[in-house]
Structure 1
Amino acid sequence: MKRIGVFTATRAEYGLLAPVLAAMDPAPGLEPLLLVSGAHLSPRHGMTVREIEADGRPIAARVPLPMAGDDGVSAAQDMAAATAGVAAAM
């Protein structure tokens, strides 16, 4: 079984990934792992993780990010948290 991590952090990209995930569901030998992060988990951005849950899509891991600011240091901290979270999930 091949595990394939599918990372989503925004509603816009999840909309693009949904048909890809649907195509992977019946594929023998594939196990898609949906990793949800970023704006999906943010109350400030509408907690769009609920839309993923409403789709009935299993979430393999929630990868929280600090999302403390828009500066370079904050971006680096977010990338570090995402890398650690994805590594732990996979």
Structure 2
Amino acid sequence: MSSEVAALDHAGVHVAGFVLTMAGIIATSAGLTLLSGDPVTLVAFVLLMTAVEIQVRAVEEPYLPHAHGSAYRDYAARVGRFLPGIGCGRS
């Protein structure tokens, strides 16, 4: 396993949200769930939401303060988790 740490990207689109890729996946899945109207699709959407929350909260967010220190904590205090302004102030 590599010990290389990527630089904290806090410019460009990352000014708006921390995990924009996950936000896009959630938005697309929500739209497809609404279009299908199928109960199985609804269950799949709930499972996806659960998996994304676990990935972000239990894997990514604990790692980033360790890797980037106060720079990440300052960034997390002003940027939303999935959408601008929503989820600010997490540590």
Q: TM-score, normalised by structure 2?
A: 0.31
Higher relative contact order (CA 8 A, sep 6+): 2
Q: TM-score, normalised by structure 1?
A: 0.32
Question: Which has the greater radius of gyration?
Answer: 2
